[in-house]
Structure 1
Amino acid sequence: MKKLLYTSFIILALFVTAMLPVNDLSVEAAAVNPFTDVKDSNSHAKAILSLYNDGIITGTSTTTYEPGKSATRGEAALFLANALGLQENTEKNGTFKDVPSSSIYYQAVTALTKAGIVNGYGDEFKPNTTLTRAQLSKMLTIGFELHQSTQTKTKFTDVNKLTDGATKQYIQTLVDYGITKGTTATTFSPNMKLTRGQLATFLFNAINVASDELTVISVE
């Protein structure tokens, strides 16, 4: 269902784009960059600007994105829910006492929790706690319904030392899909705090993978 919603959006966007005049198309192709701290030289610039223009991610202010700032669990939940088209419109009390209905993360966290994509810590979600690279691997694998790897050994020496077999498989899944290559050829840094720039790139790559997997029906 989530992929279907995103697929419909992509198909509609392509159709509308195809119908635009040539002059308008050139304008649409130029990504708007309101962020003074996201330069073309930044390795995450393409992902940040693409997702921002698609309305999936937001900055820390109207003019800053802060790509080097640690990403939080709340931000990751919000951006992922936007990408998947999951927003829970409900007035009911949420699952977590630290994510009240007044929180900007409330609908996203509620929807992702209901879908089994994220978990909390008892009755807390800890939306302001920083996110690790391993934690995002799980969110993306489950959220985009990727075919999960069965491998319990990876090319990353630091991942192989982990005792949680499921985490190893989530990370290997992202490698299998080409969503990540790791921090080096032999390390993934699973417990490293994820930056907002890295979050954008991971999410951008996952969206592209999901789009590539879609079956295109030819028109006869």
Structure 2
Amino acid sequence: MRRYDIEAEAGRGGDISPDGRVRVRRGENQTFRITADDGWEIADVEVDGESVGAVSRYTFESVRGDHTISVTFRQIGTEPEEPETPALPFTDVAEGAWYYDAVAYCYENGIMDGTSGTTFAPGMLLNRAMAAQVLYNLANGAVTTSAGFPDVAASAWYADAVNWAAAQGYVTGYDNGSFGPEDSLTREQLAVILYRYAGSPEPTGTLDGFVDTASASDYAVDALRWAVGEGLLTGKDGGRLDPAGTASRAELAQILARFAQR
């Protein structure tokens, strides 16, 4: 019997149960329960990108496709408490945002930095240089010899990362010998890089439930199956995997946090 995915996410201040990627048989119901932590309350619940209010329970009835449900919480005004761990320095990453915890994890563990001292740019599209750099940070990569890409200057902030990633076989250049550091990175290209970094294990996931599987490049199919099986990539609206779509820095933080904590 066909199954569909429901991706459930909760921001800081509470939980949704079940959470993560939930597989549901066609025609069945699936209920999610939302609980706020002490000192917090439910601010809003969005289903497939649309607000359904501050509900503590939501049921998808007679499921016939993929869905998403995300929750944001807000703190309740109470008497002053002892200061908590300092908040992130980024003014563009609000507490309660679906990507807040992932950005915090990546920042606190030295995997991702901001685009400045006070901005993270969560909506900025990921490029090839950024992908090499975060992988270099994740692996504590070491400086290596130049990979010989004519468009990667030795003085570039990403040079060590690109040269290291190329030496490890995690990234490759184009047929003309260039690397294209500022070229946007697609979701399938990101999956391939992480798949290679993970050692190219036997994939256990399937792409059968996505409507756009045919648009995936042949070289990326195993990597996409692996990423789906590991819960790193999930579907978008309409049951799309969107392999040729670009990823934002917020999406990268979410994927890297899941990858690092597997």
Please state which band the TM-score falls in when normalised by the shorter chain.
0.7 to 0.9
- C-alpha RMSD of the superposition: 2.2
Is 1:132 aligned with 2:193?
no
Q: Does 1:155 align with 2:212?
A: no
TM-score, scaled relative to structure 1: 0.74
Within 5 Å, which residues of 2 pair with 1:27-106? 30=85, 32-87=87-142, 89-90=143-144, 92-106=145-159
Q: Which whole-Å CA distance do the structure 1 matches of 2:146 and 2:222 have between them?
A: 34
User: Aligned letter for 1:187?
Assistant: R
**What is the CA-CA distance between 1:185 and the residue it aligns to?**
6.5
More strand by share: 2
Q: Report the AA paired with residue 143 of structure 1.
A: Y
Higher relative helix content: 1
For the structure 1 residues 69 and 153, does the alpha-carbon distance in structure 2 shift closer, same or farther, using more than 3 Å as the test? closer
Is 1:202 matched with 2:239?
Answer: no
Q: Give the Cα–Cα distance (whole angstroms) in 2 for the partners of residues 200 and 32 of structure 1.
A: 17
Cα shift at 1:161: 3.6
* C-alpha contact 1:70 1:196 (8 A) present in aligned 2: yes
SS in 1 for 2:155: coil
Shift of 1:134: 0.9
CA offset digits 1:31-87 (Å, max 9, x no partner): 640000001222111111111111111111100001011111101110011101223
1:48 counterpart letter in structure 2: V
Given residue 85 of structure 1, which amino acid in structure 2 is its aligned partner?
N
Of stretches 58-67 and 186-195 in structure 1, the one that deviates more from structure 2 is 186-195
Could you tell me which runs of 5 or more consecutive residues in structure 1 were left unpaired when the two chains were aligned: 1-25, 210-220
Q: Give the greater-gyration-radius structure (CA).
A: 2
TM-score normalized with structure 2 length:
0.63
Structure with the bigger RCO (C-alpha within 8 Å, sep 6+) is 1
C-alpha spacing 1:203/1:36, structure 2 compared with 1 (3 Å): same
Distance 2:149 2:91 in 1: 35
Structure 2: distance between partners of 1:153 and 1:187: 10
C-alpha distance in structure 2 between counterparts of 1:69 and 1:156, whole Å: 26
Moved over 4 A (4+): 150-153
Equivalent pairs: percent with the same residue? 29
Q: Which amino acid is the alignment partner of residue 112 of structure 1?
A: A
**Unaligned 5+ runs, structure 2:** 1-81
**SS of equivalent to 2:178:** coil
CA contact (8 A) 1:51 1:204 kept: yes
Aligned length: 180
Aligned partner of 1:213 in structure 2 is none
Change (3 A) 1:185 1:140: farther
Deviation at 1:137, TM superposition (A): 0.5
Instruction: Provide closer, same or farther for how the CA distance between residues 134 and 127 of structure 1 changes in structure 2, counting only shifts above 3 A.
Output: same
- Find the residue that maps to 2:250 and give its secondary structure: helix
Distance in 2, Cα, partners of 1:93 & 1:180: 32
Q: 2:139 corresponds to which letter in structure 1?
A: L
- CA contact 2:204–2:229 (8 Å) conserved in 1: no
Aligned to 2:236: 183
